[in-house]
Amino acid sequence: MIQTQFSSKLRVLRFDNGGEYVNQCFRTYFKHHGLVHETSCPQTPQQNGIAERKHRHILETARALLHEMHVPPHYWSDAESTAVHLLNRLPFKVLNFKTPLQVLASHVSLPTTLMLSPRVFGCVAYVHLPKNQRTKLDPCARRCLFLGYIGETRDEEHKWLHFDWPNSETMVDEAPSLVSIDPTRLDGPTE
């Protein structure tokens, strides 16, 4: 993506000394593409300062999302994904107070669905149920826990991820505009 979207030549890739990056498959790829493969010394995260600091920033944001709305810790991966989603929409001084998404949009065209307003992680959300999934007397929506966003690539529709407490079911809502958000806490199963 760096070469095709930003017209920049990739020359060096630096990784920690993790086994997933130090193997024959990677060495062959780097040699074939003329890339220099650098690794840090084992057990020295200080040599990966920028990456380690960004990971810490994402983790701290995810932890705050979980604790603020009393969401159970086993949703940590959804909280981290939501943290990245939100951080990509916050202005940074190093980007002249632009968001990473704005900087990317200045180089490539992005779908407008990526610009939807953020929602409160862990809030109560009412997900619309299509007519074919309910009878005339059934409720038109389900009360759920908002867990984040999925489908942010150019070829996918923007979707929201929810958890339905009473049914212990994860739901993907393909029509976010039909979701009503209640910014109150959901402290566990209710009803």
Average pLDDT estimate for 165-169? 70
Q: Is residue 151 part of a domain?
A: yes
Whether residue 150 is predicted with pLDDT greater than 70 in this model: the reply is yes
Nearest partner of 161 among 86, 88, 62, 75, judged by Cα: 75
Give the integer Cα–Cα distance in Å for 150 and 109: 19
The domain of 11 spans 1-43
Q: Is residue 81 part of a domain?
A: no
Reported confidence tier of residue 174, pLDDT bands at 50, 70, 90: low
Query: Could you give the percent of the chain with pLDDT greater than 70?
Result: 79
pTM for the model stands at 0.70
Q: Is residue 111 part of a domain?
A: no
Whether residue 83 is predicted with pLDDT greater than 90 in this model: the reply is yes
Nearest partner of 179 among 136, 146, 155, judged by Cα: 146
Q: Is residue 103 part of a domain?
A: no
Q: Pick from 28, 43, 58: which residue ends a domain?
A: 43
Give the total number of structural domains in the chain.
Answer: 2
Q: Give the count of beta carbons closer than 10 Å to the beta carbon of residue 81.
A: 20
Q: Is residue 88 part of a domain?
A: no
> What's the order of all strands across the beta sheet hosting 169-173?
169-173, 159-164, 141-150, 123-128, 180-185
Q: Is residue 132 part of a domain?
A: yes
Q: Is residue 2 part of a domain?
A: yes
Reported confidence tier of residue 189, pLDDT bands at 50, 70, 90: very low
